[in-house]
């Protein structure tokens, strides 16, 4: 988690720079959204794989694939190749994210899960301090391609570790972890088919491309993407998710709303700083550094508070903080306001997500029996990526329209930031439906040592 955090923190500040140098600023939403679209497919594959054979195998596959995808991005000569690299990297990220969450559900009792998640957030502190500023300096002094090459070499370290350390655990212990998981979801819940996940991933990419301009080709792509999302997206989520039914469905929906708002803000604030405010790359990097530190700090706080404050209330508080962050970002579109205000908006939004995201993960595990941890983790990852795709697509469409009408950048950014208040308000209003009731609580025994010396499923 520590080493892969370097790659994650360094890439985002580079994307606006890369898009500008590759003459693809107009396709920037597509490049930013390609990663998210592919994570849908990776999350579904990883969740099903983790239930069948344990979390170790999808984790290993994910980190190995991430090395390859960084090399694809490093050698990009067109914006389309960069988008392809981000797409394959999204598959890898989906595998890793789901397998990590599934491992927490399979290996730790409920009383320790919040601290495990806060510990993983803490692993991002040093990468957040060093990664973005260093990436900005290297991109300014040398090139953004050099950063991708360096990240590929760095990511090879955890990839090698995963192969060596988890290879011996891929047999009996992993099979034991997944024993009984397949086929036990019952008639009300079906495991999502990979074909449906692939269709939704393609739909997300088409939608992101379709909103980058207004002509016949783009409108057709956007229409096809929306049609595929309507047809296949419900198959990847628990029943009644779109109606925010109490329990896991509402929890999954809130992950979509909060993640969609946060990561869209994270995409547009750097674009504002790079294209309109013309700030150095190091300033944009510092915005990501501050956001990562804020996320880790608030995640640490929720790890200490979750026994005293109901988790659904932490979600509501996090959404309220994010609403303030969106208002601050909109304020930065006023020319007289210093660009540093936009940096502070990313930090505030990260505080809210640090409270909301781990709480939602814990709520999803609390609402899910032990033999469905992979399914629940996959549904949360799918929902997160769907939320990012849809919110980013709608915001990008509004941004493109306002850019054409106003013949300027700042009004378009103002409208984009104002739109983000809608999913955040919905998340705050629906947070009560995620609460864990006494009837829904599943008592799980503490892990017992297996014959191989590893913790068995809880």
Find the mean pLDDT for residues 57-77: 88
pLDDT of residue 79: 86
Displacement of CA 362 from its chain's centroid (Å): 16
Give the pLDDT confidence of 352-386 residue by residue, as tens digits: 999 999 899 889 888 877 667 677 877 887 888 78
Q: Is residue 161 part of a domain?
A: yes
- The string of pLDDT tens digits covering residues 338-352 is 877 878 899 999 999
Among 207-216, 253-262, 305-314, the range scoring the smallest mean pLDDT is 207-216
Residue 447 pLDDT > 50: no
Across 15-40, average pLDDT:
76
Phi, psi at 455, each rounded to 5°:
-70, 135
Q: Is the pLDDT of residue 453 over 70?
A: no
- Tokens representing residue 369 in the block: 């029996």
Q: Could you tell me if 393 and 40 are in contact, meaning their C-beta atoms sit under 8 angstroms apart?
A: no
The number of folded domains in the chain is 1
What's the pLDDT tens digit per position in 118-128? 777 777 777 77
Residue 443 located in a structural domain: no
Q: At 422, is the pLDDT very low, low, confident or very high (cuts 50, 70, 90)?
A: very high
Residue 42 covered by a domain: yes
User: From residue 321, how far is each of 58, 154, 193, 327, 334 by CA, in Å?
Assistant: 34, 34, 37, 10, 21
- Residue 447 domain-assigned? no
What confidence tier does 169 reach under pLDDT thresholds 50, 70, 90?
low
Strand partners, 101: none
∠ CA(210), CA(258), CA(129), 5° rounding? 95
Tell me whether residue 170 is in a domain. yes
> Is the pLDDT at 177 greater than 60, yes or no?
no
Task: Please give the residue range of the domain that contains residue 135.
Answer: 2-434
Residue-level pLDDT at 252:
93
Measure the CA angle with vertex 323, ends 322 and 325; round to 5°: 60
For the domain that residue 355 is a member of, what is the CATH number? 1.20.1250.20
CB 31 within 8 A of CB 86: yes
3-state secondary structure the chain: CHHHHHHHHHHHHHHHHHHHHCCCHHHHHHHHHHHHHHHHHHHHHHHHHHHHHCCHHHHHHHHHHHHHHHHHHHCCCCHHHHHHHHHHHHHHHHHHHHHHHHHHHHHCCHHHHHHHHHHHHHCCHHHHHHHHHHHHHHHHHCCHHHHHHHHHHHHHHHHHHHHHHHHHHCCHHHHHHHCCCCCCCCCCCCCCCHHHHHHHHHHHHHHHHHCCCCCHHHHHHHHHHHHHHHHHHHHHCCCCCCCCCCCHHHHHHHHHHHHHHHHHHHHHHHHHHHHHCCCCHHHHHHHHHHHHHHHHHHHHHHHHHCCCCCHHHHHHHHHHHHHHHHHHHHHCCCCCCCCHHHHHHHHHHHHHHHHHHHHHHHHHHHCCCHHHHHHHHHHHHHHHHHHHHHHHHHHHHHHHHHHHHHCCCHHHHHHHHHHCHHHHHHHHHHHHHHCCCCCCCCCCCCCCECCCCCECCC
Residue 313 pLDDT: 92
pLDDT digits (tens, 9 = 90+) for 205-251: 787 777 767 788 888 988 898 899 888 888 888 889 988 899 999 99
Report the pLDDT averaged over residues 421-430: 94
- pLDDT grade, residue 458 (50/70/90)? very low
pLDDT for the residue 178: 42
Above 90 in pLDDT, residue 420? yes
Task: Output the average pLDDT for the chain.
Answer: 79
Of the ranges 51-60, 263-272, 415-424, which one carries the lowest mean pLDDT score? Answer: 51-60
Q: Has residue 267 been placed in a domain?
A: yes
Q: Is residue 155 a part of any domain in this protein? A: yes
Nearest to 371 by CA among 100, 184, 237: 184
Report pLDDT for 185: 41
pLDDT, position 355: 92
Mean pLDDT in residue range 304-314: 82
């Amino acid at each position: 988690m520590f080493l892969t955090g370097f790659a994650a923190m360094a890439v985002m500040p580079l994307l606006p720079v890369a898009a500008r140098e590759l003459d693809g600023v107009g396709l920037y939403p597509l490049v930013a959204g390609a990663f998210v679209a592919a994570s849908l497919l990776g999350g579904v594959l990883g969740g099903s794989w983790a239930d069948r054979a344990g979390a170790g195998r999808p984790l290993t596959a994910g980190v190995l694939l991430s090395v390859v995808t960084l090399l694809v991005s490093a050698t990009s000569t067109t914006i389309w190749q960069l988008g392809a690299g981000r797409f394959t990297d999204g598959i890898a990220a989906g595998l890793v994210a789901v397998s990590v969450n599934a491992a927490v559900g399979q290996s730790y009792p409920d009383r320790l899960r919040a601290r495990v998640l806060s510990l993983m957030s803490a692993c991002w502190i040093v990468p957040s301090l060093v990664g973005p500023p260093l990436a900005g300096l290297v991109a300014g002094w040398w090139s953004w391609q050099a950063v991708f090459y360096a990240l590929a070499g760095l990511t090879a370290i955890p990839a090698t570790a995963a192969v060596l350390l988890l290879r011996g655990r891929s047999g009996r212990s992993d099979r034991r972890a997944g024993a009984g998981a397949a086929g036990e979801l019952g008639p009300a819940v079906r495991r999502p088919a990979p074909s449906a996940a692939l269709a939704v991933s393609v739909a997300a990419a088409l939608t992101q491309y379709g909103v980058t301009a207004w002509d016949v080709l783009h409108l057709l792509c956007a229409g096809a993407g929306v049609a595929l999302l309507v047809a296949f997206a419900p198959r990847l989520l628990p029943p009644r998710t779109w109606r925010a039914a109490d329990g896991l469905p509402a929890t999954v929906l809130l992950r979509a709303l909060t993640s969609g708002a946060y990561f869209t803000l994270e995409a547009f604030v750097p674009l504002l700083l790079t294209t309109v405010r013309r700030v150095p790359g190091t300033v944009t990097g510092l915005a990501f550094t501050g956001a990562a530190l804020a996320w880790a700090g608030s995640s640490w706080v929720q790890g200490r508070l979750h026994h005293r404050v109901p988790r659904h209330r932490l979600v509501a508080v996090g959404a309220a903080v994010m609403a303030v962050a969106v208002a601050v970002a909109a304020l930065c579109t006023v020319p007289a306001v210093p660009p540093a205000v936009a940096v502070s908006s990313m930090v505030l939004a990260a505080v809210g997500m640090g409270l909301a995201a781990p709480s939602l993960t814990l709520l999803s595990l609390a609402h899910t029996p032990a033999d469905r941890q992979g399914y629940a983790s996959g549904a949360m990852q799918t929902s997160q990526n769907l939320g990012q795709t849809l919110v980013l697509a709608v915001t990008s469409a509004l941004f493109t329209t306002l850019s054409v009408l106003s013949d300027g950048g700042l009004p378009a950014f103002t409208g984009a930031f104002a739109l983000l208040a809608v999913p955040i308000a919905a998340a705050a209003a629906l947070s009560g439906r995620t609460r864990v009731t006494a009837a829904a609580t599943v008592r799980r025994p503490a892990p017992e040592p297996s014959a191989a010396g590893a913790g068995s499923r809880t």
